[in-house]
Amino acid sequence: MMLHIPAVLTREQVTEFCRLLDQATWVDGKVTAGYQSARVKNNHQLAEGSPLARQLGHTIETALAQAPLFISAALPHKIVPPLFNRYGEGETFGNHVDNAIRKGNRHGEHLRTDLSCTLFLSDPDDYDGGELSVDDLYGTHSAKLPAGDLILYPSTSLHRVEPITRGVRVASFFWVQSMVRDDWQRTMLFNLDTTIQKLKRKTGDCDEVVALTSHYHNLLRLWAEV
């Protein structure tokens, strides 16, 4: 499932992020790439674990905790601390699959990457190219979202960032270890939860809503790993 989650950050937050990142020192993006990814990666990143990265990452994690659509779709158990990248003209990231395991900075624990996230910090009109392209069984899907919006997709997907031909693209990226590792199971739970919420708005807590909610939680109990 590839899902667009709008307005994770407010316009004011995006403006402040961009002000701070404009003054930041960027390093070669290959520092966080695996062997294969490093061969096709050409961008810059904010130094992992830097005070600014931690500050902005904390703001993102706080916003995600208040984003019902993200919580429903990702069922997050752990989140790798957000990183930040910058693509200028001619920069790109070719076809790759994200590493299955990442090391979290805060406690040194290893996390399984079930879901990949890109939070756009530059508006689409600020640059040409730079689409996130994700390949799956149903073809290629591209995302180039408004600043503050997030795209969520399975980390098993082959994906790339198309070359920048004008301007600069700045984004945050990170990974989620879900309570439910299987993408199809997460998708079914998300669709069921979405249907329950729509039905609840129409009918309130009727017997059918209560029954479906019970079914949802029993499936979550069956599939979740915590």
Amino acid letter for position 11: R
Identify the pLDDT of residue 103. Answer: 82
Q: Which helix (H) or strand (E) holds 175?
A: strand 169-178
The residue extents of the domains of the chain are 3-178, 183-223
Cα separation of the two ends of the chain? 22
Contact between 122 and 168 under an 8 Å Cβ cutoff? The reply is yes
Identify the pLDDT of residue 117. Answer: 98
Vertex 18 angle, CA 59 and 171, to 5°: 70
Identify the pLDDT of residue 137. Answer: 87
Identify the pLDDT of residue 104. Answer: 73
Summarize the confidence of residues 159-164 as an average pLDDT. Answer: 98
Summarize the confidence of residues 39-52 as an average pLDDT. Answer: 94
pLDDT above 70 coverage of the chain, percent: 99
Q: What is the Cα–Cα distance from 50 to 42, expressed in whole angstroms?
A: 21
Torsion of CA 61, 149, 160, 43, to 10 degrees: -70
Contact between 102 and 224 under an 8 Å Cβ cutoff? The reply is no
Q: Are strands 127-129 and 115-120 parallel, antiparallel or unpaired?
A: unpaired
CATH of 3-178 among 2.60.120.620, 1.10.443.10, 3.20.20.140, 1.10.167.10:
2.60.120.620
pLDDT at 35 over 80: no
> pLDDT confidence of 105, banded at 50, 70, 90?
low
Phi, psi of 27 (to 5 degrees): -115, 170
Q: Which residues 6+ apart lie within 8 Å of 141 measured at CB?
A: 2, 133, 134, 135
> DSSP characters for 102-128?
EE-TTT--EEE--EEEEEE-S-GGGEE
